[in-house]
């Protein structure tokens, strides 16, 4: 991509905090660097929001809440639909390029995220006009019950770096559709996508005060006071289980409604009756999408001993053939990890696995002297009790483990404290339903590499979080239920 185009784009992207429909400097005037993970160089600087900025955003949000709540559902829907059109039209190229620049994923995957992320705006624009209550006679017959669904109130979004657009739209879509106002604190690694999203919502006609975006170098000074504010009603967080637990403890003091999409450690199971070629194709896709930096990416591969050698050989060959490089270059399959720390953490996991007896079948090295790149890596002869099987990898590393007995494998997987996503390949439909009933996992992909869709509920079990995003379920956590009981009418 031409350097002049990138320079022009960065000059057009807003870099201030977004409050009251405007991009402004922070109250301190301080800024922080946004890095390009492919080069390690500074892309630009962004305004560093302060607690005072957060307080102002909260004041404006609380003031805007009632007017937005009573805005006609159709009007809210049309704003979200216009935002969808802008994201997939006028701003499509800008969104994709910015995501690749600040996060590192290959450009074709960034375009894929634009499509996927924007779909939440379209989906929830359609759900806005479908919010219903209920009306019924209580069993004793003396009261007529009216059930009203109304917005929960001001929301706080804390979004991650790995899908900077989709994780914003997945929260903003249902919140705005239901009539809630929101303040978003995006990851310090990917604030540009969030600010561009704010520009899109502003251009789509979202009223002033309804949405604020507060990029900041550190999260706690911004989110802490907001969580404690008595006017806040809900927090939606996507990120690590460790941080999610801490936020839940904070939210408890203010009894906030919470949606937590936390860590995953997805198993990918290949049974003896699987179509091995299709299983390999799916395994490569779900492992390397987003460089493996996805909560629902396959983390470890359990392969039946009868097909282990065939799968491992074909899988390794496919992984080794993938091109690593700057995501803006043509033909790149795997971009850099998001930061130097992420590269160090994943590399250390490989080293510990090898020390525990695993063998590197492909990759394992750092191909360039600049940037945060890691070769896609396949580990074989992996001890199922090793850390790399128990811990979420969040990188392009695939440990392949033998198994023989389905029942024992289910026990092994269910011992994990998390249960977000999982994948398995088999031709036995009885087994499919058996595993759907027995695996303690919120989302299962069968003979497939993908499960995420705006029209389906996304979420997990156990320490993978609570609540669901997407689908008809996605709007429920943004609605409050009010029951009104009145005397039953007299009948002639």
- Looking at the annotation, which residues are catalytic? 261
CA angle 358, 361, 365 (to 5 degrees): 95
For the record, the structure tokens of 231 come out as: 């006017």
Torsions phi, psi of 404, nearest 5? -125, -40
Element (H, E) at 461: strand 461-462
- Give the residue carrying structure tokens 């007995």: 405
Cα distance between residue 120 and residue 469, in whole Å: 10
Q: Return the SS3 of 387.
A: helix
Cα distance between residue 106 and residue 104, in whole Å: 6
Torsions phi, psi of 163, nearest 5? -130, 75
What single string gives the DSSP state of each residue in 200-211?
HHHHHTPPTTSE
Q: Are 329 and 380 in contact (CB under 8 A)?
A: no
**Pure H helices in 362-404:** 387-390
In this structure, is the dihedral angle defined by the CA atoms of residues 324, 325, 327 and 328, taken in order, positive or negative? Answer: negative
Cα distance between residue 245 and residue 389, in whole Å: 22
For the record, the structure tokens of 356 come out as: 């525990």
> Distance of CA 414 to CAs 40, 390, 407, 432, 457, Å?
39, 11, 11, 16, 21
Q: Are 154 and 132 in contact (CB under 8 A)?
A: no
Q: Return the SS3 of 47.
A: strand
Nearest partner of 160 among 196, 182, 184, 124, judged by Cα? 184
Q: Is 254 exposed, middle or buried (0-12, 13-18, 19+ CB in 10 A)?
A: middle
Who contacts 350 (Cβ-Cβ below 8 Å, separation ≥6)? 360, 364, 377, 379, 388, 397
Element (H, E) at 132: none
């Amino acid at each position: 991509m031409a350097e002049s185009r990138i320079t022009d784009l960065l000059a057009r992207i807003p870099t201030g905090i977004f409050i009251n429909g405007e991009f402004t400097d922070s109250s301190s005037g301080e800024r922080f660097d946004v890095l390009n993970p492919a080069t390690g160089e500074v892309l630009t600087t962004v305004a560093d929001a302060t607690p005072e900025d957060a307080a102002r955003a909260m004041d404006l949000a609380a003031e805007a809440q009632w007017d937005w709540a009573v805005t006609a559902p159709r009007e809210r829907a049309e704003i979200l639909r216009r935002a969808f059109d802008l994201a997939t039209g006028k701003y499509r190229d800008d969104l994709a390029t910015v995501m690749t620049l600040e996060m590192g994923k290959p450009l074709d995957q960034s375009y894929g995220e634009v499509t996927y992320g924007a779909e939440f705006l379209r989906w929830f624009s359609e759900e806005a006009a479908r919010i219903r209550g209920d009306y019924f006679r209580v069993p004793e017959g003396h009261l007529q019950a009216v059930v009203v669904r109304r917005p929960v109130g001001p929301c706080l979004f804390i979004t991650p770096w790995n899908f900077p657009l989709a994780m914003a739209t997945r929260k903003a879509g249902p919140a705005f559709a239901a009539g809630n106002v929101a303040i978003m604190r995006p990851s310090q690694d990917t604030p540009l996508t969030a600010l561009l999203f704010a520009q899109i919502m502003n251009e789509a006609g979202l009223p002033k005060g309804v949405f604020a975006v507060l990029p900041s170098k550190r999260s706690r000074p911004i989110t802490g006071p907001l969580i404690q504010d008595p006017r806040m009603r809900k927090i939606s967080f996507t990120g690590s289980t460790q941080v999610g637990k801490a936020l839940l403890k904070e939210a408890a003091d203010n009894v906030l409604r919470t949606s937590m999409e936390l860590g995953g450690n997805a198993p990918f199971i290949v049974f003896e009756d699987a179509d091995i070629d299709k299983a390999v194709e799916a395994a490569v896709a779900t492992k390397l999408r987003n460089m493996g930096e996805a909560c629902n990416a396959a983390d470890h591969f359990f392969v039946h001993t009868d097909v282990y050698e065939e799968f491992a050989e074909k899988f390794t060959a496919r992984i080794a053939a993938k091109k690593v490089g700057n995501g803006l270059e043509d033909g790149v399959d795997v971009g850099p990890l998001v930061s130097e720390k992420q590269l160090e953490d994943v590399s250390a996991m490989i080293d510990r696995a090898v020390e525990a007896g695993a063998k590197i079948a492909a990759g394992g090295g750092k191909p360039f002297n600049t940037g945060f790149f890691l070769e896609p890596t396949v580990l074989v002869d992996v001890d199922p009790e090793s850390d790399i099987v128990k811990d979420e990898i969040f990188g392009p590393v695939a440990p392949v483990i033998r198994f023989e007995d389905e029942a024992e494998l289910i026990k092994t997987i269910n011992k994990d404290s998390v249960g977000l996503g999982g994948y398995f390949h088999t031709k036995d439909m009885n087994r499919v339903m058996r595993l759907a009933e027995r695996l303690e996992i919120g989302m299962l992909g069968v003979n497939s590499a993908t499960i995420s869709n705006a029209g389906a509920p996304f979420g997990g079990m156990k320490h993978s979080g609570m609540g669901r995003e997407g689908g008809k379920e996605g709007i429920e956590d943004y609605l409050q239920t009010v029951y009104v009981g009145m005397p039953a009418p007299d009948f002639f």
